[in-house]
Amino acid sequence: MFRFWPIMRLSLSLALRRRVVRLAVLLGVLSSLAIVGWYVMPVKAASYTAYLKGVVHSKQEFWAWVLAALVGSGVVANDRRTHAFHVYFSRPVRGLDYVVGKGAGLGVLLALVTVLPSVLILLTDLGVEGIGAADHRPMFDVRVVGEATVREIGFATVLWSVVAYQTVYIASVAALALALSSLVRRAGPAGAALLGYHFLSLIVVKVGVARAPETAAWLPLLSLHHVLSRVGDHLYGLPLSTSGPHLGVCLLVVCGVAGASMWVVFRGLRLSSEGA
């Protein structure tokens, strides 16, 4: 019934066999937990959700892009190079099963450095009495946030926002990685292109908006990270900057990137299978 399941497990298993991938996952989880507030200086934020998205998720998203470049860049490219399509499609496996399996395997890996640490952070904060108070507290509860805390907002509400936002983020990054991987036969160029686009777009947006503030309405659309962050502000109920791109335009960009990426993947898959 779930013909994508073996492909997902194999993809995930092959990725975790690499020492550099295991190290990246470990560093990604530890970097998130290190800023939970367990042993760090207090952090001030407008609200708990503002702290979670602005401080915690920014570290997680960096490692999501790194893992997407390390693993996602090769999930299709390696199969093209080794002609593994013969193995996959000699069985009752459709192209959709292959893409879903590869994408799900990459998504689970990215979730290890995004969703998993976020849930651990929420559970930790939920178990600490008096989150958000301005007085001094020992051990775990050393983070100072605004009036709205995880208890006041509601654990289920915050959890839904975390899962919804990070699922959209993971799916978008994974789709882009799969598209780049399907265009080449080696993982290196695809990984370099993915990280190059991410960091270059961040620099262009930061420098461009700083030099010409009037470009803030459209220049961030060049960066998938900025577009997804704008969508995340809405999911978290945070106030949207009036100078940034319109939310509807950001949603169209996200859908457009996902749709274009899947078209590239399926087209490359069809051409590769025919050529094989």
Domain boundaries, the chain: 4-270
Encode pLDDT of 159-188 as tens digits.
898 999 999 999 999 999 999 999 988 889
Encode pLDDT of 45-59 as tens digits.
667 777 777 777 888
% residues pLDDT > 70 (the chain) = 82
pTM (global) more than 0.85: yes
The angle formed by the CA atoms of residues 224, 21 and 50, to the nearest 5 degrees, is: 40
So what's the pLDDT on residue 43?
55
Give CA–CA dist 61/173, Å, rounded. Answer: 10
Chain centroid offset of residue 81 CA: 27
So what's the pLDDT on residue 49?
77
Is the pLDDT at 119 greater than 50? The verdict is yes
Encode pLDDT of 120-166 as tens digits.
888 777 765 444 443 333 333 434 445 456 666 777 888 898 999 99
Q: What is the mean pLDDT of the chain?
A: 83
Give CA–CA dist 107/100, Å, rounded. Answer: 10
